[in-house]
Structure 1
């Protein structure tokens, strides 16, 4: 599952790296990667419903590119990192609010339709989405503070960005197995027998 998250977040990583040199170039590079990811996902057969975050990313990158080109000296661009992560937070919380966590589409790629129809699967992807949404929110706030009071502290900015993605990623890698084992133990399900039956 983590490889899909890596691909999904590649436009944001591109934006973060290139925007440190130039806002317009960063936005354009992020948009190019976002569109490439969408094309790649569609060619691999992924439905639009499984690409909530990818579509949201492309919209943000297009809007940011247009704004950065038309108003390159706008003061709000100095908060670019916080705005980008804030957009991810809005997307994640919005998906949860309408009952479509962005994590569901990603997680469905690794499970059968039968597994995806279970309450356990739904619970796991929802918890993971909440963790990502919370991580995005806290990271956006932290980045806004750093960009306001210590904008030249590049190492601190990078550390906040890395932590903002690393903590939810580690949780995402570990939580599903732990949740499944806990669910089996609570319901008296023999895990080995379950795996053989699948």
Structure 2
């Protein structure tokens, strides 16, 4: 499987949660997200992948473990309607946090697609910092937008889906496009 596709596969727990979870059934979405995240982490570790290649998968395992516990302990929590926003708050925190510690979450994935001689170059790090920043910004915009929409109109399903799709598709397209542009410029 290509590294880019494998990188996107890391988002599968989040996507499955988005599809399954509804206001009343966030428990099933959380459980499904947790099971898929744990399966991805286990498969990646068995395949010999390093932890820095699995930041999103590991983050998903932590998030869905906490969300599963919360959703089972308090199925009617006041947070229930904000599930889509909570996902993006967590993902934004993961992305911004990885930038804050100087290890953009895309670095591990990018290393699987680039020759080893470029891994330690400032350019490689800068490209991944920019890509991670785009993801972090998209997650932040999604978190804020979804919080506002869900607060004003909790049943605006079409708008919620549109926000989710746009704020995932835009950084995914940028991630595929940007490294090629940088390569052409040099």
TM-score (norm 1): 0.89
Partner of 1:189: none
Q: Measure, in 1, the Cα distance between the counterparts of 2:102 and 2:94.
A: 12
Partner of 1:19: 21
Q: Measure, in 2, the Cα distance between the counterparts of 1:61 and 1:6.
A: 18
- Which of 89, 93, 98 aligns to 1:95? It is 98
Q: Measure, in 2, the Cα distance between the counterparts of 1:152 and 1:67.
A: 22
Q: Measure, in 2, the Cα distance between the counterparts of 1:10 and 1:105.
A: 18
Gaps of 5+ in 1: 185-198
Q: Measure, in 2, the Cα distance between the counterparts of 1:131 and 1:83.
A: 19
Shift of 1:90: 0.3
Query: Which stretches of structure 1, 4 residues or more, deviate above 4 A after TM superposition?
Result: none
Shift of 1:44: 1.9
- Which of 125, 147, 150 aligns to 1:147? It is 150
Contact kept, 8 Å, 1:120 with 1:180, in 2: the verdict is no
Partner of 1:55: 58
Shift of 1:49: 2.5
Partner of 2:133: 130
Q: Measure, in 2, the Cα distance between the counterparts of 1:25 and 1:16.
A: 11
Partner of 1:33: 36
Partner of 2:179: 176
Partner of 2:8: 6
Shift of 1:43: 1.8
Count of residues in Structure 1 that have an aligned counterpart in Structure 2: 183
Partner of 1:65: 68
Taking only aligned residues, the RMSD between alpha carbons, in angstroms, comes to 1.1
Larger radius of gyration: 1
Shift of 1:152: 0.8
**Residues 150 and 5 from structure 1, CA distance in 2 versus in 1: closer, same or farther, beyond 3 angstroms?**
farther
Partner of 2:49: 46
Q: Measure, in 2, the Cα distance between the counterparts of 1:6 and 1:50.
A: 12
Shift of 1:52: 1.8
Gaps of 5+ in 2: none
Q: Measure, in 2, the Cα distance between the counterparts of 1:6 and 1:104.
A: 14
Contact kept, 8 Å, 1:101 with 1:129, in 2: the verdict is yes
Shift of 1:146: 1.1
- Give per-residue Cα distances to partners, 1:57-113, cap 9 Å, x unaligned: 100000000000000011111100000111000000000000011000111111121
